[in-house]
Amino acid sequence: MQLRYNYRAYPNAFQRGALADAFGCARVVWNDCLRDRKDAHAAGLPYVTSAELSRLRITQAKRTEERAWLADVSAVVLQQSLRDLDTAYKNFFDSVKGKRQGRKVGPPRYKSKKDTRQSIRLNTNAFCLKSDGTVYVAKVGNLKVKWSRRLPSAPTSLTVTKDSSGRYFLSFVVDTEPDTLPEVEAETGVDLGLSAFAVLSDGRKIDSPRFLRRAEKKLKRLQRELSRKAKGSKNRAKARMKVARQHARVADRRRDFHHKASTQIIRDNQAVYVEDLAVSGLCRTRLAKSVHDAGWSSFVCMLEYKAALYGRTFAKVDRAFPSSQVCSACGFRDGPKPLHVREWTCKGCGAAHDRDHNAARNVLCEGRRIVAAGRAETLNACGAPVRRAHVPAQRGETGSSRRGQTTQVSIPEP
């Protein structure tokens, strides 16, 4: 399976300029190739192939006066930008044909130099890890990196990213084997909420930290200062950077909380079941800010890929399942209840229930039923583990390795 590891990079002034050139050249190649394909589609011409675009918009463009500066950056950056465009078109076509699951994917769009997030992608021909702890990037130089932990194996690709707050990150994708944990008997159902971030079927509650709400006062002040600055001025750019840094702090704290909570749940339980919430629908209600602050979707994604990484069973319970209406003791369906009702008594057996704990226990029972029906990944009839599907690298940083693994010689230990 593939894992992604992110590290903070600290380029000097010259390297920041070189990276800015690389970001700009990759964006120009993307826009030029996208324009050619859009024009061909509008004119009723055949789909322009990648080979033709590479020859026209990269090789020949370097020899023209208008695009001669494309030669100042690594050719790998330009080729990877074209490959990313091909991937975007493939996702769009697969979504239109119904081959891609999930929400519909729109066609590729033009990139702007005013985008606050810029990135380039490199393969092993354009970067290498040095023995002194730096990372060499072609036509950029040796980048200073803060190694927070080891890489489990040699990386296969590198993405250099500059976020909205001006920070630089190196994202390595590595191929590694699943790190299977020792089996345990415990299983759990997880009910996600707002008053408590998560309630487990064994009664444990994970409090909601509400990172955005806690930073809201400072964010309001910084955004007021930003709104008073003249558009296009340097003071406005400085104020925008302050707002972006504060938002980045909130996002970093939330991501760290999600990683710690999800890893603990996966390590303590052999099987984890969670309700498949309609997050996009809830984000259009009056609870939108609180839902975004909780970050349920990213948390569930972490549970899913960490279950595959550590050899655990994971299943989602359908959102139509009435987890809050059914008594977990006798199975009597007591009907829907408003959100302010946090405790209720079953009319069938008289058991008193905490709303969230009862829902978590129902999610556990329904998850076990789904696994028993064979709709989730588990052991087969002979007791042999079912072969797991390919797990691509996640967008966010992966969890830490459970045990020490062989590290490439050129990567320093943290």
Cα–Cα distance measured from residue 284 to residue 132, given in angstroms and rounded to the nearest whole number: 50
Catalytically active residues are 191, 275, 356
**For residues 368 and 385, what is the distance between their CA atoms, to the nearest angstrom?**
17
Cα distance between residue 245 and residue 248, in whole Å: 5
- Residue 359: count of CB within 10 angstroms of its CB: 26
Q: What is the mean pLDDT of the chain?
A: 88
Asked if the model's pLDDT at residue 113 lies above 60, the reply is: yes
pLDDT in tens, 343-369: 888 888 888 888 889 899 999 999 999
| Across 136-164, average pLDDT | 94
Q: What tokens were used for 1? A: 């399976």
Lowest mean pLDDT among 34-43, 159-168, 198-207, 399-408: 399-408
Q: What pLDDT sits at residue 277?
A: 84
Overall average pLDDT of the 263-268 stretch: 94
For 58, counting Cβ atoms within 10 Å of its Cβ (0-12 exposed, 13-18 middle, 19+ buried), the class is: buried
- pTM, two decimals, is 0.85
pLDDT confidence bin for 405, thresholds 50/70/90: very low
- Sequence-separated (6 or more) residues with CB below 8 Å from residue 379: 385, 386
Query: Residues 6 or more apart from 156 whose CB is under 8 A from it?
Result: 123, 124, 173, 174, 175
pLDDT category, 330, cuts 50, 70, 90?
A: confident
* Residues 6+ positions from 131 with CB-CB distance below 8 Å: 409, 410
- The helix (H) or strand (E) run that includes residue 77 is helix 75-97
User: At 214, is the pLDDT very low, low, confident or very high (cuts 50, 70, 90)?
Assistant: very high
pLDDT of residue 396: 58
Burial category of 269 from C-beta neighbours within 10 Å (exposed 0-12, middle 13-18, buried 19 and up): buried
